[in-house]
Amino acid sequence: MLEYNLRPSFRQKLMFSNTLTSPAFIAASGVLIITVIALFTAPYIGMADNGDFFRITYSNGLYFNQPDYDSQYFGYFIKQFGIFQYYNENQAILSSSQSLFIKLAIGLNKLLYSDKVFDVRFQAAMYTILYVCAIYILIESITWKMSRKQGLLIAAIAIFIFGDTAYTAFFNSFFGESVVTIMMIFVFGSWLALYRKRYNDYAMLALLVTSTVILTTSKQQNAPVGMIISVLAITLIWIRKDAFFRWLTMGSVIFMMLTGVATYLNISKEFVDINQYHAMTRGVLNLSSNPEDTLKSFGIDEQYAILKGTIYYEQYSTIDVKSPILQREFYSQYGFGPILKYYASNPGQLTSILNVAAKSAFTIRPPAMGNYEKSAGKEYGAHTLFFSGYSLLKQKLAPHTFGFVVIWVLVILGLYMPSCIAAVKEGNLRGIQRMALVLATMGVGVSGILVSIIGAGDADLSKHEFLFTLSFDLVTFLAVSNVIGRSIFKDVERNTTGAYNPEVHEGVGA
Amino acid sequence: MRNRVAMVVLPLFLCLLLLTPTPAQSAAAPPRVLLLFDSLAKGTVREGNVDELQKQLAAYSAQVTLVHLDQYVKGSMSDYSNVITVINAADITTDNHVFLEDLADYKGQYLHIGYNPTADTKEALHLSVAIQPGGSASLRIGGLPEANLQVQDMPYIAASQAERSYGNLLFLGSSVQVPYAVGSGKYTYVPYLKQGDGSSLAMACVLREWLHITDTPHSYLVLKEIYPFTDLNLLQQMADQLYQKGIPFIASIRPVFTNTDFPAMLRYLEALKAVQARNGSIVVNVPVIGPVISRSDDTLREKMSIFINLLADQGVAPLGVGAESYWTYDKEYAQTGLLFFDSAVLFPNKELHYMEQTNTSKAFISSLYSVPLDDLVTQYKTGSSGLTDLPMDTAIVADFPEDEAGMEKLLQKLEQSWIPFSDYKQEAHRVATDTHIITSSQGVISINGQELNIDYSPKAVSADFEYEHEQVKSFTRLFSVQNQFFIVAIIVSLVFFGGLLVIGYRMYRRKYMK
C-alpha cells in the first residue's frame, strides 16, 4: 500500500499544512542559505570572464572599468563594472532574454547602490531569489502528499544537488547559464505541478510558457529547446476538459514553437558561418579516416583537407574564414541536411564524436574559469570547493561515454513506461505528463549535443553540454525521488484500485 | 701560443657568426622620417593621403614615425633625417610654436604637403599659394604618362622663386600652368596629394629626389591570393604562360600552419616548385588575422619560422614577405612575423587588426610599393609607350584568377600594359630562420649557401596517407576474449533473471489475484 494513500492523522495533517516545515521550504531554505554564504560573504564566489562577457555587458550599458581587466581573463572573478554615463555606441550584438535580467539588476543597483558602478551581486541576488522559488515549486511538486520522512530525504538530496556552487556560481557572472538553470528548473517544476495538479493549472501553464520562452531566447543555441518542449506540451491540451484551457494551451504551444523558430531565424550570419565552418572542420573532417574522400563526397575540393581540425577563431590562419573563396567553394557545398546524411551513413564516426562529447557531458563547473576574486589571494584560475560535493562526485564517478547516456535514457524511460502505458490505457492525459516531461527534458539535453555536433562539430560542445548536465540532474533527481516516494511505476494520482478518478482531473481552481 | 689560439678561435668565431641565425639585417641605415599631420581628413577627398605617404616612404626603405602635430614633443625633430608635415585642413594654420621653433633650427630636409605652408617655407620659396575650387587638371611629371585629376578646393603654387621645380600642372579650360611642387634649400612644398589619383605617383617622384634615391627602380608582377585551395593546375598553367611570354613574376603564397604533412600540402608544395621553375619568385604572404585577437598568443614567430623551414626543406625558396602595410606599424607583427625578412611587398590595408600598434614603422631594405594592375591601367594611358619610369620599386598586383577565362583576361591585360617586369631574384634578398638562410642575388638563389637548382618537373602526390595513427594496444586478444565472455555472461544472466521474474509474477498472481 502506498504511503500517499494513507489517510494522514490530524497531527500529520497539521505538520504538512505548516509550510515552514514542508520539504519544499526546507530544500529552498537550504539552497538559499548555502548560496548566500557562497555568493554574498567573503571570499565571494563567482565566475571569471572567458571573453564572452563583452557582448552582453557592453550592449546593456556596462563596461570593464578595471584597468587590469585583460590580465584577469579566465583567472579571476570580477564583481564590479562601470555603467555608461553617456551615449552607448555598442549596439546589441545578441538579442537575449538575459538582457532583461541584467537591465533589471542595473536598475536595482542604481536605486540602492550607485549609478556609476555596477555590482554584479545585485544580479546574483535577483537570480538567487528566482532560483529558490524554482526549487520550492520543484520540490513541492515532487514531495506533495509524501510522508515526512520521504520528503525530508528528497529535500536533503535537492540541497546536495541544487545547492552545489557549480550551479550557483554562475549567478555572479554574465554567463547565460544562470538564466538557463533557473528557467529549466521552472519549466520542470511547473510541468510537474501540472502533472501532480498541485497548484492552479492556469498559473502553472503561464509559468511553464514564460520560463520556456525565457529559456529558449536566453541563448541562440537554445532554439531547439522551444521546439522540443512545445511538441511534447501538445499533450497538455487535453489535461482539462474546459475549452478555454484547451484553446489557451494550444495557443501556448504555438507560441513556444514560434519562439524557437524565431530564435533560430535570429541567429546572426556570423554565427551561421562559424557553425558551418566548425561542422566540417571540427566535425565531419576531424574524425574522418580519409578527409580527402570525405570532402569529395560533399563535392568539395580535396585540398580543403588542410582545414581539418582548425577553428574559426584561429588567430593566425591560412585563409580568411569569411573569404569569398570559402563561400564559393566550401560553405556552399554543404549544410545541416548533407551533414546529417553523412553521419547517418557513417555511424562509427558519429559514435566517436559522441564519445568525445560525453567526456565533458557530466561537468557542471567549466574547468577553465576561476571562481575567486584576485583580492582573495587564491591562485589564478582556482576553483572553490565550498559545497561542491555533488559536482565533483558527478564528474569523477559518471562514466564518460555516450553509451552510458544511452543506457541512462533507456533505463529512465523503462522505469516510467508502465505508469505511462497505464495512463494511456485509461485515457488519462494528465497521467502521461510525467513521461512527457521526462522525454522533453531528455530531448532538450541530448538534442543539444546532437544538434551541436551536426551543426558545429565538437567546437561548441561545452556550451551545449551545460543543458545536458542540468537535464541529467533533473531527470535523475526525479527518478530517485520517485523511487524514494515509491511512485516510480505508478501514476501517483491513481486510486489503489487502479481506477481512474475523473474528479481529480477537473483541476485545481478555475 | 696566444696567436695559435687566436688562429683557431677567430675562424671558429667567424664561422659561428655566419652560421648563427640572425634576423634579416639592413645593409645601410634607412632614412628616419618624422611624419607630422594635422588630420587624417576622414570623409574628405584627401582621406588616405597620409596612408599613401606612409606606403611611399616604406617603398623608399624609410623608417617612419607618425605623430599628430599637436603631440609634437620639443626637440624630437633632431632625431630624424627628414621631416614631413601634412596639413589637410584649409582653415588651420600651423601655429604650434614648439614645432615652428624646432623647424627653424632644423638641419635636415623639410617637406610641407597641403594647405598653409609655414612662414619659413613661404619665405624660402617666395611662395604664393592659391586655391582651385573645382574642375579638372592634367599632371605631367618625370617619365610618367600624363594623368588627369579631378580637383576640389585644390591648393596650387600660384607663384614662387625656387631652386627646384617638380612636374607641371595644367588646369583644363584655362591657360594656367604651374609647377606641381617646388623646393629651395631644406624646404620643399607639395600643395596637393590625393590617394589613388595621378598625384600619388607624382608625390613619389618628388620623394625620390627629396630622399636622394638613386637606384634604378623596377616593376614586378605580383600574383596574390594563392592558397593551398587554389586551383593548382591553373597555377602551373599560369606559370607556364607567363614563362612563355617572358614575364617573370612573384607569387605571394599563403602560409599553412596545420596539417603540413597531408597530401594536400605536398601538392601545394609541388605546385610552388613548378612556379619557381617557371621564373616565379616566392614570397610568403603573412597569415590572416582572425576575428578575435588575443594578446597572449605569442605563436606567430614560431609558426612563420616552421613554415619557412618547411618550404626551404622542400626546395622552395621564399625571398620576402607580403603583408598589408599596417603590419609594419605593429610591434608584435614586426618583431615576430616580419622578423625573418629583409624584403617585403606591402599591400594596401583592407582591415586593420593591430595587436600592438606603434607609431614607428619597420623598414625593409627592399620594399615594394604596390599598385593594383587594374588601377594602373585605368589611371594612365599606358598604351604602347608603357609605364617604364615608375619612380620606386613597384609591385603591380593582381589576384590569382579563379578560372581559365580569368587567366586569359589577366594575361591580355598584362600584354596591353607594356610594363617591363623585372625578375625579383635578380636583386639581393635574404630570409633567415633558426635553421635556414635563403638568399638571392643576380638570379641565383641559395639555401644555406647551397645554390638552388630551380628546374623542376612536378610529381604526382599519392593520396595514400595515414590520417589517424593507430594507437599501440596491449593484450588486444585477451581483452577481446574477455569482452566476449562478459557479453555471453550478461546475456545469460538477463535471460535467467527474466525467467525468474516471469515465474515469480505468475506465482504472485496465482496466490493473490484469485
Which DSSP string corresponds to B426-446?
A: GS-EEEE-SS-EEEEETTEEE
Report the distance separating Cα B112 and Cα B193, nearest Å: 11
Nearest Cα neighbor of B441 from B429, B455, B453, B431 is B429
- Better-scored residue on pLDDT, A269 or A173: A173
pLDDT at B198: 85
Residue from the list B264, B288, B300 with its beta carbon closest to the beta carbon of A305: B264
Q: Are the C-beta atoms of A45 and A38 separated by less than 8 Å? A: yes
B275 part of a folded domain = yes
- Better-scored residue on pLDDT, A486 or B260: B260
pLDDT at B15: 40
Residue B232 has pLDDT above 90, yes or no: yes
* Helices B198-210, B49-59: crossing angle, 10 deg rounding: 50
Q: Percent of chain B having pLDDT more than 90?
A: 59
Please indicate, yes or no, whether residues B171 and B54 belong to a single structural domain of this protein.
Answer: yes
Please indicate, yes or no, whether residues B172 and B252 belong to a single structural domain of this protein.
Answer: no
Residue A433 has pLDDT above 90, yes or no: yes
Q: Between chains, do B229 and A292 touch, taking CB under 8 Å as contact?
A: no
DSSP letter (8 states) at residue A24: H
Q: Between chains, do B264 and A317 touch, taking CB under 8 Å as contact?
A: no
Cβ burial of B453 (10 Å; 0-12, 13-18, 19+) is exposed
Q: Between chains, do B288 and A317 touch, taking CB under 8 Å as contact?
A: yes
pLDDT band with cut points at 50, 70 and 90 for residue A31: very high
3-state secondary structure of B221: strand
Task: List residues bridging with B34 in a β-sheet.
Answer: B65, B83
**Among B430, B451, B472, where does a domain finish?**
B451
Residue A26 has pLDDT above 70, yes or no: yes
Q: Which residues contact B5 (CB under 8 A, 6 or more apart)?
A: none
Record the cell numbers describing residue A122, joined without a space.
Answer: 545585485
Residue B306 has pLDDT above 80, yes or no: yes
Amino acid at B242: L
Report the distance separating Cα A292 and Cα A315, nearest Å: 25
Cβ burial of B219 (10 Å; 0-12, 13-18, 19+) is buried
- Placement of cell 565550498 in the chain: A386
Distances in Å between the alpha carbon of A17 and those of A23, A29, A145, A368, B479? 11, 17, 10, 46, 59
**Numbered residues of chain B with Cβ closer than 8 Å to any chain A Cβ:** 225, 227-229, 232, 254-259, 262-265, 267-268, 287-295, 297, 299-300, 303, 463, 467-468
Question: How far separated are the first and last CA of chain B, in Å rounded?
Answer: 119
The per-residue pLDDT for range B458-486, each reduced to its tens digit, is 778 888 888 876 666 677 777 778 778 88
Per mean pLDDT, which range of A5-9, B126-130, B180-184, B234-238 is the poorest? A5-9
Instruction: Return the domain boundaries, chain A.
Output: 17-174+374-389, 269-345
B481 part of a folded domain = no
B69 part of a folded domain = yes
pLDDT band with cut points at 50, 70 and 90 for residue A492: low
Mean pLDDT of B218-232: 95
Nearest Cα neighbor of A159 from A136, A175, A182, A125 is A136
Torsion of CA A294, A300, A301, A307, to 10 degrees: -70
pLDDT at A496: 37
Q: Which of A268, A296, A317, A352 to mutate to test the interface with B (most CBs of B within 10 A)?
A: A317
Number of Cβ pairs < 8 A linking chain A and chain B? 91
Distances in Å between the alpha carbon of B357 and those of A34, A135, B326, B353? 47, 51, 9, 9
Mean pLDDT of B95-114: 91
Report the distance separating Cα B244 and Cα B235, nearest Å: 14
DSSP letter (8 states) at residue A282: I
Q: Which residue of A has its CA nearest to B263?
A: A303
Q: Which residues contact A478 (CB under 8 A, 6 or more apart)?
A: A142, A188, A192, A434, A438
The per-residue pLDDT for range B372-397, each reduced to its tens digit, is 888 777 665 554 445 556 789 999 99
Nearest Cα neighbor of A271 from A459, A462, A64 is A459
Task: List residues bridging with B289 in a β-sheet.
Answer: A316
Give the DSSP letter string of B90-104.
TT-----HHHHHHHH
Please indicate, yes or no, whether residues B274 and B321 belong to a single structural domain of this protein.
Answer: yes
pLDDT at A246: 96
Residue B288 has pLDDT above 90, yes or no: yes
Please indicate, yes or no, whether residues B123 and B253 belong to a single structural domain of this protein.
Answer: no
Please indicate, yes or no, whether residues B347 and B423 belong to a single structural domain of this protein.
Answer: yes
Q: Which of B258, B265, B298, B308 to mutate to test the interface with A (most CBs of A within 10 A)?
A: B258
Nearest Cα neighbor of B227 from B172, B281, B264 is B264
Mean pLDDT of A228-256: 95
pLDDT at A230: 96
Report the distance separating Cα B175 and Cα B192, nearest Å: 19
Cβ contacts of B357-360, under 8 Å, gap ≥ 24 = B357/B329, B357/B330, B357/B331, B358/B329, B358/B330, B358/B331, B358/B334, B359/B65, B359/B66, B359/B67, B359/B329, B360/B63, B360/B64, B360/B65, B360/B66, B360/B329
Q: Between chains, do A304 and B289 touch, taking CB under 8 Å as contact?
A: no
**Among B184, B210, B236, where does a domain finish?**
B210
Per mean pLDDT, which range of A1-5, A251-255, B83-87, B145-149 is the poorest? A1-5
Residue A64 φ then ψ, to 5°: -80, 110
pLDDT at A46: 95
Residue B453 φ then ψ, to 5°: -85, 110
The pTM score is 0.77
B417 part of a folded domain = yes
The per-residue pLDDT for range A444-460, each reduced to its tens digit, is 998 878 877 887 788 76
Ranges A230-244, B406-420, B453-467, most confident: A230-244
Cβ burial of B241 (10 Å; 0-12, 13-18, 19+) is middle
Ranges A494-498, B9-13, B40-44, B246-250, most confident: B246-250
Mean pLDDT of B293-303: 86
pLDDT at B507: 86
Cβ contacts of A246-252, under 8 Å, gap ≥ 24 = A248/A202, A248/A205, A249/A205, A252/A205, A252/A208, A252/A209
Report the distance separating Cα A177 and Cα A167, nearest Å: 8
Residue A139 has pLDDT above 90, yes or no: yes
Nearest Cα neighbor of A439 from A466, A414, A404 is A414
The per-residue pLDDT for range B133-183, each reduced to its tens digit, is 888 888 988 877 788 888 888 899 999 998 999 999 998 877 788 999 999
pLDDT at A488: 76
Give ∠ CA A26-A30-A32 in degrees, rounded to 5. 115
Give the DSSP letter string of A291-333.
HHHHHHHTT--GGGGGGTT--TT-SEESS-TT-HHHHHHTGGG
Residue A221 has pLDDT above 90, yes or no: no
Residue B295 has pLDDT above 90, yes or no: no
CB atoms within 10 A of CB A300: 22
Q: Are the C-beta atoms of A2 and A496 separated by less than 8 Å? A: yes
Q: Between chains, do A305 and B257 touch, taking CB under 8 Å as contact?
A: no
CB atoms within 10 A of CB B382: 18
Report the distance separating Cα A325 and Cα B221, nearest Å: 22
Q: Which residue of A has its CA nearest to B307?
A: A318
Identify all chain B residues contacting A325, using CB atoms and an 8 Å cutoff. 225, 227, 229
Nearest Cα neighbor of A120 from A179, A83, A79, A165 is A79
Please indicate, yes or no, whether residues B110 and B248 belong to a single structural domain of this protein.
Answer: no
The per-residue pLDDT for range A148-180, each reduced to its tens digit, is 999 999 999 999 999 999 999 999 999 999 999
pLDDT at A90: 67
The per-residue pLDDT for range A287-319, each reduced to its tens digit, is 888 999 999 999 999 999 999 999 888 889 999
Q: Per the structure, how many domains does chain B have?
A: 2
B495 part of a folded domain = no
CB atoms within 10 A of CB A64: 18
Report CA B410 to chain centroid distance, whole Å. 22
Report the distance separating Cα A308 and Cα B474, nearest Å: 29
**B346–chain A nearest CA distance, Å:** 18
Report the distance separating Cα A333 and Cα A297, nearest Å: 10
pLDDT at B416: 82
Residue B197 has pLDDT above 90, yes or no: no
pLDDT at A495: 40
Residue B22 has pLDDT above 50, yes or no: no
**Among B181, B210, B239, where does a domain finish?**
B210
Give the DSSP letter string of B96-164.
-HHHHHHHHH--SEEEEEES---HHHHHHHT-EEEEEEEEEEEEE-TTSPPEEEEEEEEEEEEE---SE
Mean pLDDT of B81-96: 87
Identify all chain B residues contacting A356, using CB atoms and an 8 Å cutoff. none
Cis bond upstream, residue A43 (ω within 30): yes
pLDDT band with cut points at 50, 70 and 90 for residue A91: low
Q: Percent of chain B having pLDDT more than 70?
A: 91
Identify all chain B residues contacting A306, using CB atoms and an 8 Å cutoff. 228-229, 256, 258-259, 262, 264-265, 268
> Can you give the CATH number for the domain in which B112 is found?
3.40.50.880
Identify all chain A residues contacting B299, using CB atoms and an 8 Å cutoff. 315-316
Identify all chain B residues contacting A313, using CB atoms and an 8 Å cutoff. 290-292
Report the distance separating Cα A232 and Cα B168, nearest Å: 81
pLDDT band with cut points at 50, 70 and 90 for residue B341: very high
Please indicate, yes or no, whether residues B170 and B236 belong to a single structural domain of this protein.
Answer: no
pLDDT at B275: 95
pLDDT at B136: 87
Q: Between chains, do B267 and A321 touch, taking CB under 8 Å as contact?
A: no
- Better-scored residue on pLDDT, A68 or A355: A355
The per-residue pLDDT for range A459-482, each reduced to its tens digit, is 767 667 899 999 999 999 999 999
pLDDT at B477: 77
Q: Between chains, do B289 and A315 touch, taking CB under 8 Å as contact?
A: yes
Cβ burial of B454 (10 Å; 0-12, 13-18, 19+) is buried
Please indicate, yes or no, whether residues B178 and B239 belong to a single structural domain of this protein.
Answer: no
Please indicate, yes or no, whether residues B191 and B259 belong to a single structural domain of this protein.
Answer: no
B336 part of a folded domain = yes
- The pLDDT mean for chain B works out to 87
Cβ burial of A142 (10 Å; 0-12, 13-18, 19+) is buried
> Can you give the CATH number for the domain in which B266 is found?
3.20.20.370
Q: Which residues contact B371 (CB under 8 A, 6 or more apart)?
A: B394, B395, B396, B397
Report the distance separating Cα A314 and Cα A450, nearest Å: 24
DSSP letter (8 states) at residue B460: P
Q: Percent of chain A having pLDDT more than 90?
A: 64
**A129–chain B nearest CA distance, Å:** 36
Please indicate, yes or no, whether residues B243 and B375 belong to a single structural domain of this protein.
Answer: yes
Q: Are the C-beta atoms of A121 and A44 separated by less than 8 Å? A: yes
Residue A242 φ then ψ, to 5°: -70, 135
Please indicate, yes or no, whether residues B173 and B273 belong to a single structural domain of this protein.
Answer: no
Going by their DSSP bridges, the two strands B280-285 and B249-253 should be labelled as: parallel
CA atoms within 13 A of residue B98's CA, in its CB half-sphere = 10
Identify all chain A residues contacting B292, using CB atoms and an 8 Å cutoff. 51, 313, 315
B496 part of a folded domain = no
pLDDT at B1: 43
Please indicate, yes or no, whether residues B281 and B261 belong to a single structural domain of this protein.
Answer: yes
B13 part of a folded domain = no
Domain that holds residue B98: 27-210
Going by their DSSP bridges, the two strands B109-114 and B187-190 should be labelled as: parallel
Q: Which residue of A has its CA nearest to B462?
A: A292
Identify all chain A residues contacting B236, using CB atoms and an 8 Å cutoff. none
